[in-house]
Structure 1
Amino acid sequence: MKRFRMSDGVELIADAWGAPDAPPAILLHGGGQTRHAWKRTAQTLAAQGYHALSVDLRGHGDSGWSADGDYGMDRFAADVRTLAQMQAAKPILIGASLGGISSLLAEGDAPQSVAAALVLVDITPKVDPQGVARIRGFMASHIDTGFSSVDEAADAVAAYLPHRPRPRSVEGLRKNLRLGDDGRYRWHYDPAFVHDRQTRDDSGREQRLSIAAARIEVPVLLVRGGSSELVSQEAARAFIDLVPHATYVDVRGAGHMVAGDVNDVFTQEVVRFLEGLPPGPSTRPPQPAVAS
């Protein structure tokens, strides 16, 4: 476990895989998730020669909470920029949903590039408002009352994601829950994060993200869930118009939570993208020599 302190004192927690001196790759989860969502992908990246860091965003998992309750895009983007600048080389930023928004702004708004490349997972400047409302509704559900057991929480997830086979064990879900003093389980994020999302004015969000996206010059991969309720094919094509050098792939059988729905295919697409990057200390790891 690694710890990173942000400028306002909030400490971010991360798990690490791979050699510390290998090219860095930072994995950033979506809203309401934790760093554990990336475990299998991070392990694969480590095997490919990267130093993979899976981070709990502020207000999530084991990371600290914003004392002032501020969970705006700029706060998350500043954290990602700080994390990137703490690495020995410019990292690959791999961000899903909220993590992708944060990565896009961290790179697109920076006076100088902070990343070697971006992988954006099912997120673009334009998103379906009904999909957003559905996700936020699920995150807000049970936020006060919680669940009597992990199994009850698993029932809620199964109802929300009917396309995903229910796991035989609920132990993995336990990492996304915290047990309160009242003996009830609640999602492992700051309730203020959800309240912030419910009250914040998002009217300028698309324009802000579009401007940032148009500034990005580093290699970009957009991975869209083939059945995404958030990012349409039209929105993905609009993103490619903004970032014409970007690569775009659909993952069949995946919804918004691509890595959780079809992890192996998702990870293969990321590895294929990374293999195509120009060699350098912050992009592709050095390849071993082959004896003749």
Structure 2
Amino acid sequence: MDTTPRTVQAHGITLAYRVWGPPDAPPVLLLHARGHDGSDWAQTAPALAAGPRRVYAPDLRGHGRSDWPGDYRYATMADDVHAFLTALGIDRADVVGHSLGGAVACLLAQRHPETVRRLVLEDVPAPFPLDPPRPPAERPAGDLPYDWAMILATDRQRNAPNPVWGDHMGRITMPTLLIGGGATSLIPQEQIAALAALLPDARHLTIDAGHLVHATRPEEFLTAVDQFLTPWHPAP
């Protein structure tokens, strides 16, 4: 299977992505966490593609081989993803987002609900201010596989989220599965439960794996996601 990174022009920037599965299978979009890129799904995507599904894993802006343009608002990233789907001719997809990717997936589902059939949020930050706020980050030495400006920008948004993000949760009407990582996760699990309560059609599952659920407990993660995403009934 060819999973060589590809690129596409979307929302005025170049986005790199990987793809698995038959071209004519139902599409699934995987959105990675902060500091990672689409390759983070390399152990997860083949199993999802066996559905069969066509699985896409882009590098979000500021990460990996995608452009690092300097605007790292969550909403801008969501617009990138919508443009990415449009550029590839994908009208509707299942969307799985981890951490930062989950926040982007939430905004995509709010702003373009017709694009998202089912939504999976893996240990995603909730749209509530952190108390106490996250302290200023210190840049690691050496070259980084992501833009350090993205870290600073997303920390600011995590500490003080745009209120619109929380106010528009009711727009996410598609079936949604929230997977929390349990007590050892860096995401407050009570916030994931509170987020689930804001969604009209939500299921909430905890897998005690810490923040990296799909990497630490892949079989349990894949079982939950596969069952949730099946079956797919395309519109005639």
Instruction: Measure, in 1, the Cα distance between the counterparts of 2:31 and 2:68.
Output: 16
**1:200 shift after superposition:** 5.5
**Counterpart secondary structure, 1:192:** helix
**1:258 shift after superposition:** 1.6
Superposed CA offset, 1:189-241 (max 9, x none) = 01221232355684343x32222321111111111101322131x22222222
2:72 alignment partner AA: Y
Q: Pick closer, same or farther for the CA change 1:132–1:267 going to 2, 3 Å.
A: farther
Q: Of 3, 7, 12, which residue of structure 1 is paired with 2:7?
A: 3
Identical counterparts, % of pairs: 30
Kept in 1, the 8 Å contact 2:94–2:117? The answer is yes
Which structure has more relative contact order (CA 8 Å, sep 6+)? It is: 1
Instruction: Measure, in 1, the Cα distance between the counterparts of 2:156 and 2:92.
Output: 35
**1:94 shift after superposition:** 0.7
Q: Pick closer, same or farther for the CA change 1:199–1:133 going to 2, 3 Å.
A: closer
2:116 alignment partner AA: A
Instruction: Measure, in 2, the Cα distance between the counterparts of 1:197 and 1:104.
Output: 15
**Counterpart secondary structure, 1:26:** strand
Q: What is the TM-score when the length of structure 2 is the normalising length?
A: 0.87
Kept in 2, the 8 Å contact 1:123–1:231? The answer is no
Aligned length: 229
Partner of 1:285: none
2:6 alignment partner AA: K
Superposed CA offset, 1:54-97 (max 9, x none) = 1111110111111xx11111110101111233343401111111
* 2:110 corresponds to 1:108: yes
Instruction: Measure, in 2, the Cα distance between the counterparts of 1:199 and 1:220.
Output: 27
After TM superposition, list the pairs within 5 Å mapping 1:249-268 onto structure 2: 249-252=205-208, 254-268=209-223
The root-mean-square deviation of aligned C-alpha atoms, in Å, is: 2.3
Q: What is the TM-score when the length of structure 1 is the normalising length?
A: 0.71
**1:141 shift after superposition:** 3.8
Q: Pick closer, same or farther for the CA change 1:222–1:75 going to 2, 3 Å.
A: same
Kept in 2, the 8 Å contact 1:71–1:196? The answer is yes
Instruction: Measure, in 1, the Cα distance between the counterparts of 2:66 and 2:90.
Output: 22
Structure 1: gaps spanning 5 or more residues: 147-185, 283-292
Q: Pick closer, same or farther for the CA change 1:121–1:113 going to 2, 3 Å.
A: same
2:234 alignment partner AA: P
Runs (4 or more) in structure 1 with deviation over 6 Å come to none
Kept in 1, the 8 Å contact 2:119–2:175? The answer is yes
Q: Pick closer, same or farther for the CA change 1:126–1:88 going to 2, 3 Å.
A: closer
**1:244 shift after superposition:** 3.5
* 2:83 corresponds to 1:82: yes
**Which deviates the most, 24-33 or 194-203?**
194-203
* 2:38 corresponds to 1:35: yes
Q: Pick closer, same or farther for the CA change 1:123–1:35 going to 2, 3 Å.
A: same
Structure 2: gaps spanning 5 or more residues: none
Superposed CA offset, 1:108-127 (max 9, x none) = 123x5211111111114246
Larger radius of gyration: 1
